[in-house]
Structure 1
Amino acid sequence: MKPFKMSVIVFLTICTVIFLMSACGKEEDEQKVKHSEVTSQLNPVLSIQQRNDGIEVLAVLENHSNHTVTLSFNSSKMFDVSIVNSSSNEVFRHSKGKNYEAKQEDVHIKAGASHIWKTKWKHSAATRKAGIYKVNATFLPNEISPGSLKTENLTVKETFTLQGGTGEQRNNSFRNIHFLGKDGTYKVSGEARVFEASFSYSVTDGHNIFIERNEQTAEGAPAWAPFSFEINIPEEDLPINGTLMLELFYYSPKNGDKSDTLAVPLQSFK
């Protein structure tokens, strides 16, 4: 075979190999992108509803992709939900006290559909404590197909305001709470039984803290002592949609944590 002809054949062979490798690589990249697009469109959502007998939480995974997504679990524990109060104390955990079975189970979520898991923090109207609470839900698959767990955000957080029940305006440190006013201007009075006659208060809507200040009473614990103060929040800072909550508390001399928080709803805005 002549050298020129041989060179042409070798050149064409190399070009063919490069073309095939490029095509395979492109197809592989497209597949990766496709899988990434599928899994990145799993959207976690929380729905929180206050009932007479407690707080119902719906933990939802929405499939916004154009493909069915399969979540594989190696345990009957498919999700968990925790609720903490404004003092960062956990008041509810779905998995607490439950026994879970080790088993393989798949959940298929069709394109445009969703899957719902439910739980409930049970309490009566008389015992519930008003305040701002934070809910955290985590979904616990060990595998997702198509795609990878690394591309997923399988946690979601929400904040909700819980209105108090009967006889709510007191605890071990605060009692006889009264307030007057609206639209950012309020006068608050009551009685406190606190260490060294010192306590604090904040006003929040669950997302923003508008005020946090310290107050003094005339006498410290174990005596109950009266207090009063005024709250002024500029109208332009008030929430468009939400509830202003007054939280009375003191910082523990032992560890500096918020203690004995009493939450009082001041005003709802809609």
Structure 2
Amino acid sequence: MRSIKITVVVFLTVCTFLFFMSACGKEQAKPNGKKGEVSSQLNPVLSIQQRNDGIYVLAVLENHSNHTVTLSFNSSKMFDVAITDSSKKEVFRHSKGVNYEKKQEDVHINAGASHIWKTKWKLSAANKKAGIYRVNATFLPDEISPGSLRTESLSVEEVLTLQGGSEETKNNSFRNIYFSGKDGTYKVSGEARVFEGSFVYSVSDGHNIFIEKNEQIVEGGPDWAPFSFEVHIKKEDLPINGTLMLELFYYSPKNGEKSDTLAVPLQSFK
């Protein structure tokens, strides 16, 4: 009987040991997931600013990890920005005509910090062509440490909508309009000079009006004052085929009718 008890104890002990070793093996063999991937460390961001002398693009890499990330480049070409119109024709490329130097250079981005590269699309207000443009930024390191290099994770795209210069000069109440965003979420900014600093914006697809809201700016006419607001449209309301149009206007205090309407395409869907 004693022999049987000893055998059982030894058997249970061996089973416990084997289970423990198996669990440790599984833990050691457990994949690291996305820990070493660029996409889990660096978040690419575009900031687009419209000014009188052109479109300013800030290409940013944000370090979301808890350690310093080092990007190594084999030339002075660290990034590129391309802008295409609605027909996919390239209207601007940062690297076009630039002679880059072959040299080794590292960029260190501390934990929680970011690194910014800048470029400018020289474009006067008179030469602006109304339409929807796509702005794409690509970052071009040859090596990244720590982590693996996944180039598809180091690019970002934003939609830019421009109002034509000729129409802007004809409008007395709105100017320097800038749009960014896509698929129902948009940021709009610009300048306005309207009676008592109040104007209205609406968004429609030519058939349905999704939004109509009042905006109040700091100063009323005749002074120009900046404004900015965000537009949010439910995805189920977005047109399958069509164009979202933004209208800026104010209601005349004399007759209550729309005045100085500025209509711009916000985004086209096909």
Could you say which residue in structure 2 is the equivalent of 1:244?
Answer: 245
| Matched residue SS, 1:112 | coil
The alpha carbon displacement at 1:104 in A equals 0.8
Decide whether the 8 Å contact of 2:69 with 2:109 is kept in 1. yes
Gap change, CA 1:75 and 1:53, over 3 Å in 2:
same
Q: Pick closer, same or farther for the CA change 1:28–1:38 going to 2, 3 Å.
A: farther
Q: What does residue 130 of structure 2 align with?
A: 130
The question of whether the paired residues in 1 share the 8 Å contact of 2:39 and 2:154 is answered with no
Task: String of CA shifts for 1:1-34, please: whole Å, max 9, x gaps.
Answer: xxxxxxx9xxx9xx89x95x9869856857x458
8 Å contact from structure 2 (residues 52, 125) kept in 1? yes
Residue number among 208, 214, 217 corresponding to 1:234 in the alignment: 208
Aligned length in residues:
182
Note closer, same or farther for the CA distance 1:153–1:206 as it changes in structure 2 (3 Å cut). closer
Aligned to 1:49: 49
Q: Which residue of 2 aligns with 1:91?
A: 91
> 2:225 corresponds to which residue?
none
Superposed displacement of residue 241, structure 1: 1.8
- Percent same amino acid among aligned pairs? 62
Partner of 1:147, secondary structure, is coil
DSSP 3-state at the match of 1:70: strand
1:266 corresponds in structure 2 to 263
**Structure-1 residue corresponding to 2:121:** 121
Q: Which moved more, 1:112-121 or 1:157-166?
A: 157-166
For 1:266, the aligned partner's letter is A
1:87 deviates by: 1.6
- Structure 1 gaps, min length 5: 1-7, 170-204, 209-230, 247-264
**Who is 1:40 aligned against?**
40
CA distance in structure 1 between the aligned counterparts of 2:147 and 2:30, rounded to whole angstroms: 13
Determine the structure 2 residue equivalent to 1:187: none
Which residue of the partner structure matches residue 158 of structure 1?
158
Aligned-pair distance for 1:35? 4.0
* Counterpart-to-counterpart distance in 2, 1:109 and 1:63: 6
Amino acid at match of 2:231: N
1:75–1:267 Cα change, 3 Å: closer
SS in 1 for 2:127: coil
Post-superposition Cα deviations, 1:126-154, rounded to whole Å, max 9, x if no partner, equal 11112111100000001110110138610
RMSD: 3.9
Change in CA separation of 1:130 and 1:139 when aligned onto 2, cut-off 3 Å: same
Shift of 1:36: 2.2
Equivalences for residues 183-262 of structure 1 within 5 A: 207=183, 232-236=206-210, 241=231, 244=245
| Residue 101 (1) aligns with residue 75 (2) | no
- TM-score by length of structure 1 reads 0.56
Which segments of 5 or more consecutive residues in structure 2 lack a partner in the other structure? 1-9, 170-180, 185-204, 214-229, 233-243, 248-261
SS of 1:104's equivalent in the other structure is strand
Distance 1:85 1:92, change over 3 A: same
Sort the Cα spacing of 1:143 and 1:26 in 2 relative to 1 into closer, same or farther, 3 A. farther
